[in-house]
């Protein structure tokens, strides 16, 4: 199985459980690993035979920007479900990071793996 990765996708969204977090957008960072076969694309050298990573990044950005979750766990799960529905991947890993969420920590994140 081959892997297409998108790393460090910065998206502004409403996320968090505290009242102040529900009033202003915060930046979350998203990393995606999409598992699929890239054999046809490699042989043809044609983008029509692969998953367009720009399409996935735009789709993920639009979804996350319009979402309002309390937990990054919920965001990661919902995003993974939508990507599996929309794109021909057999498995994916989604990591959602929330920099600065914990005092004295550079980052907190949740990573999930889902498959068809």
Residues annotated as catalytic (active site), given as ranges:
98
- 11-27 exposure pattern, b = at least 16 Cβ within 10 A, e = fewer: bebbbbeeeeeeeeebe
Select from 42, 17, 26 the least CA-distant residue to 96: 26
In eight-state DSSP terms, residue 31 is: E
């Amino acid at each position: 199985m081959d892997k297409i990765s998108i790393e460090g996708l910065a998206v502004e969204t409403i996320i968090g459980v505290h009242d102040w977090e529900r009033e202003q957008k915060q930046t979350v960072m998203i990393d995606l690993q999409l598992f699929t076969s890239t054999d046809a694309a490699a042989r043809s050298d044609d983008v029509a035979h692969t998953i367009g990573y720009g399409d996935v990044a735009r789709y993920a950005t639009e979804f996350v920007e319009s979402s309002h979750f309390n937990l990054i766990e919920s965001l990661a799960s919902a995003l993974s479900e939508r990507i599996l529905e929309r794109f021909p991947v057999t498995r994916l890993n989604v990591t959602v990071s929330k920099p600065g969420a914990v005092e004295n920590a550079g980052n907190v994140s949740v990573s999930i793996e889902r498959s068809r």
